[in-house]
Amino acid sequence: MTDAAWRDRLISAARHDLETRTRLARTGALFKGYHPEMQAVHDENAALLADAFDALGWPGRDKLGDEGAAAAFLILQHAISHPALQRRGLELMLDAIPLGHANALDAAYLSDRIAVFEGREQTFGTQFNWDAHGQLSPAPTRDEADLDARRASVGLPPMAETIAEILARAAAEGDTAPDDLAQRRAESEEWARRVGWRA
């Protein structure tokens, strides 16, 4: 398959992901756990991306242009039921960054996502979850005193700005704290073990 064909397939897959997310968010169904339809899209797209990795290595800007590379990253970031794929993708990205074929900002988001799913502290404060007060808050983050400096090093704004943006987006989409936070957390832990993020 040519690079152009890979680009078109990945862009189409990412578009389908975003269209599905938007439709489910409009009804509120997106925010009641991992919706089966959303998971099915993510799983299908993950299989496509795994094939792209086999064929291309990191599907970066040099091969797929900015739009194709952005689509590949979105698919990777959303492949949450596929720990091996996300870990492989991060390794490929880190190798591609010095060549200018991937960027440190995307790697920061992905490394934080992997850390949170593995039950570790994140580094850049990009991953949020509902806290005991019913607010969306950053997941546990290491060395918080130096957080804004680390964020700036990869092109992220100060944490306070991101918190305000995340809260505004959640309000606009109608995303609210789960009725039973303890149950949601237990379900998340069980899911993380089942798909292989944790032992």
Q: In sequence order, what DSSP letters do the residues of 6-54 get, joined into one string? A: HHHHHHHHHHHHHHHHHHHHHHTGGGSSS-HHHHHHHHHHHHHHHHHHH
Q: What is the pLDDT of residue 154?
A: 96
What DSSP element (H or E) covers 63? helix 61-78
The answer to whether residue 75 scores a pLDDT higher than 90 is yes
Q: For residue 109, is pLDDT > 90? A: yes
Average pLDDT over residues 94-116: 96
Coil/strand/helix, residue 141: strand
* CA-wise closest residue to 18 among 43, 47, 48, 42: 42
Range of 45's domain? 3-195
* 114-165 pLDDT, tens digit each: 999 999 999 999 999 999 888 899 999 999 999 999 999 999 999 999 999 9
pLDDT digits (tens, 9 = 90+) for 46-62: 999 999 999 999 999 99
Q: Share the mean pLDDT of the chain.
A: 95
Q: Which tokens go with 118?
A: 């593995």
Number of domains in the chain: 1
Question: Model's pTM, two decimal places?
Answer: 0.93
pLDDT of 31 > 90? The answer is no
Least confident interval from 7-11, 76-80, 127-131: 127-131
Give the pLDDT mean for 190-196. 95
pLDDT value at 95 more than 90: yes
Local confidence band at 112 (pLDDT 50, 70, 90 cut-offs): very high
